[in-house]
């Protein structure tokens, strides 16, 4: 019997670490409850935000075990199941199916740059052998891209492939995918992983998103989703503007995902240090970023202002941006275009 389509905001779970550099299970369980209590539609552990490549196979499995156990069926779980090869990825699909996840998300092969035919063959092998529904995960900045013809072929040939999470942030590409796939697979889900375009993506037909910002401000992303799908676009637009400011700061002013980890600390959690070592300069920069993030979050009442208060313009605003903020955003956009080979 077909299950309901994936829709809403699935939160990529950051993983708290203890002082020994191990998974902080009590804090992860508390974080899961906190997210659900604040209205996220689903949970997405072992994604890029969750730094899945920095954990062992055993640790990745343990993360899904913890999340599923703490969730207790309250919301659907979309489990990241990508491993270094197709055999181990299918094993992960089988194990997570036993744990009761709603679906798995699998990034295209990384490290080796593969042709579209190789990407197709990889996912076809998974689609033919998985017991659990699969979400394609397209993130071209980190892995081989999943192009439109590949998505269309897989949607037509593999019943178990039920969705795509696209983190390219490209609205025309999303439109083309929806136009190509939905006539033959109306239940196929389209999720955006690009927080800065969440509202317009929903408006052009996306079912929701897997958005790192929802792990920091789940209240805002849920409200943005609700307002957009109900047609209250003026309110949704202002939240989207606020979210872009916060997202840009967390994404571009620290090594990913450390800006998001710092922001979750400000919401009352102890995230600890991630697995990637940091230089002294990076730690200093992260402390400065944390102060700016605190001012932004304080503007919505999510935390107190830092000692000494905030400068005008530091908080999430109700209006336009000053010249300095516009300059920062322009610089971040140009840097991202260069990363994508478009500038």
**CA nearest to 300, candidates 7, 38, 3, 37:** 38
Confidence of residue 320 (pLDDT cuts 50, 70, 90): very low
Residue predicted with more confidence, 324 or 157: 157
| pLDDT for position 319 | 40
pLDDT for the residue 254 = 92
The rounded distance, in Å, linking the Cα atoms of 214 and 203 is 19
> Domains in the chain, start-ordered, CATH in brackets?
8-241 (3.20.20.70)
Question: Looking up tokens 């990076």, which residue turns up?
Answer: 282
Tokens of 192: 């955006």
Average pLDDT over the chain reads 91
Query: Closest Cα partner for 203 from 214, 190, 213?
Result: 190
Tell me the residue length of the chain. Answer: 343
Report how far residue 15's alpha carbon sits from residue 22's, in angstroms, rounded to the nearest whole number: 10
Residue 324 predicted with pLDDT over 70: no
Where does residue 308 fall: left (phi above 0), alpha (psi -120 to 50 degrees), or beta otherwise?
Answer: left
Q: Is the dihedral of CA 217, 221, 226, 228 positive or negative?
A: positive
Q: What is the pTM of this model?
A: 0.89
Rounded-to-integer distance, Cα 288 and Cα 232, Å: 36
Higher pLDDT, 307 or 66: 66
Kind plus residue range of the DSSP H or E element containing 208:
strand 208-209
Residues 258, 262, 264, 269: is their CA dihedral positive or negative?
positive
């Amino acid at each position: 019997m077909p299950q309901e389509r994936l829709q809403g905001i699935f939160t990529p779970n950051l993983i708290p670490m203890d002082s020994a550099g191990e998974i902080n299970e009590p804090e992860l369980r508390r974080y899961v409850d906190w997210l659900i209590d604040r209205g996220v539609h689903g949970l997405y552990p072992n994604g890029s935000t969750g730094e899945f490549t920095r954990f062992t196979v055993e640790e990745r499995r343990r993360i899904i075990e913890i999340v599923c156990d703490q969730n207790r069926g309250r919301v659907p779980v979309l489990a990241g199941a990508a491993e270094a090869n197709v055999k181990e990825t299918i094993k992960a699909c089988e194990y997570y199916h036993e744990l009761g996840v709603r679906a798995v998300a699998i990034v295209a092969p990384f490290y080796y740059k593969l042709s579209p035919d190789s990407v197709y063959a990889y996912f076809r092998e998974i689609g033919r052998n998985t017991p659990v529904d699969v979400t394609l995960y397209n993130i071209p900045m980190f892995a081989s891209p999943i192009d439109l013809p590949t998505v269309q072929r897989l949607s037509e040939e593999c019943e178990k492939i039920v969705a795509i999470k696209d983190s390219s942030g490209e609205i025309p590409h999303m439109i083309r995918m929806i136009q190509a796939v939905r006539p033959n697979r109306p239940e196929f889900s389209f999720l955006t992983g690009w927080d800065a375009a969440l509202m317009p993506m929903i408006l052009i037909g996306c079912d929701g998103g897997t958005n790192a910002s929802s792990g920091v401000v789940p209240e805002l992303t849920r409200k943005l989703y609700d307002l957009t799908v109900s047609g209250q676009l003026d309110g949704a637009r202002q939240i989207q503007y606020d979210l872009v400011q916060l997202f840009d700061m967390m994404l571009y002013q620290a090594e990913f995902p450390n800006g998001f980890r710092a922001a979750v600390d400000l919401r009352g959690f102890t995230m600890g240090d991630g697995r990637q070592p940091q230089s002294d300069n990076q730690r200093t920069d992260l402390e400065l970023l944390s102060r700016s993030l605190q001012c932004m979050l304080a503007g919505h009442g999510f935390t107190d202002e830092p000692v000494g208060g905030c400068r005008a313009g530091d908080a999430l605003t109700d209006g336009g941006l000053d010249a300095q903020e516009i300059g920062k955003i322009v610089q971040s956009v140009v840097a991202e275009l260069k990363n994508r080979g478009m500038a």
